[in-house]
Amino acid sequence: MNIDKNILAILLILAQCLFIFINQFIYAIETLGKIKSVLLFVDLIILTLTVSVLYVIRGLGDEIRKKTEINFLKLHLDQVEKLILTLQMQQHEHTRHIQTLQAMLYLDEISSAKQYIDGISEKYKNDRNDIIVIKNNPALTALLNSKIKVAESKRINFDFAIKCDLRKLEISSWDLCSILGNLIDNAFEAVLEEEKNRKVGLEIKFDNNEHVIYVYNNGPKIIEKEKIFTAGYSTKKSIGRGFGLYIVSNIVKKYNGWIEVISDKRTVFIVHLPFKSGDKVD
């Protein structure tokens, strides 16, 4: 029978506390001389339980890490599925337009065909329907294109620029996408407080022997900057909020990086990730 590691860890900690209590109780009673002889045995049990707790907690860490990777893969597949659906819709629309124009030309409706083309051009002039491809990084391609669609639906002007070779960035795809996804989502949420002219930007570049990620927004100023990376802290009073920036902070620390936050007329999150390889970056 498989026992959930969370439950096992709790049971071991409770048992450990119980034996510590017994140990202290026996030690405190002077009249129980013979019983005190078992203190060494009780101490050994406490030590064994402590080692067991540490082992189970370590296993929990591995399990959480695996679940995080699985959740990222699920999210990535969902984003890829949405991109494929978008491409299929675009293909369907283009085919329909071509067939309509073909029929007009066969009927010598040249003037109508010109008006139809002008109408299509006007409709798509301000639309951002092209799929942005991030070279050698399909996960980031899926993430950023999905964020573009979210930005369009919320009337957010979202721009990004990648000015370095991401293959030199020594970080797993799921961790990079987790950092960017959480920072972009945080920026989107911030600018929603603005009635219009909502702006969010992303820039990744290599500078001073480190990769630097900039995510900025023109939302309201952050008042309590020292608290924003605390687990559960959020200015929104909703259950489940307040963990995005905490996750970002932990991932960045794992790669020996650090985060700088500037919040005045606009808010900028600057993630510094040291470059470890001995190779030079162009």
Nearest to 167 by CA among 83, 269, 277: 277
Question: So what's the pLDDT on residue 115?
Answer: 85
For residues 125 and 230, the model is more confident at: 230
Greatest mean pLDDT range, 40-54, 67-81, 202-216: 202-216
pLDDT, tens digit, 9 for 90 and up, residues 232-275:
666 664 444 567 888 899 899 999 999 999 998 899 999 999 87
| Cα–chain center distance at 274 | 19
Query: Do the Cβ atoms of 157 and 198 come closer than 8 Å?
Result: yes
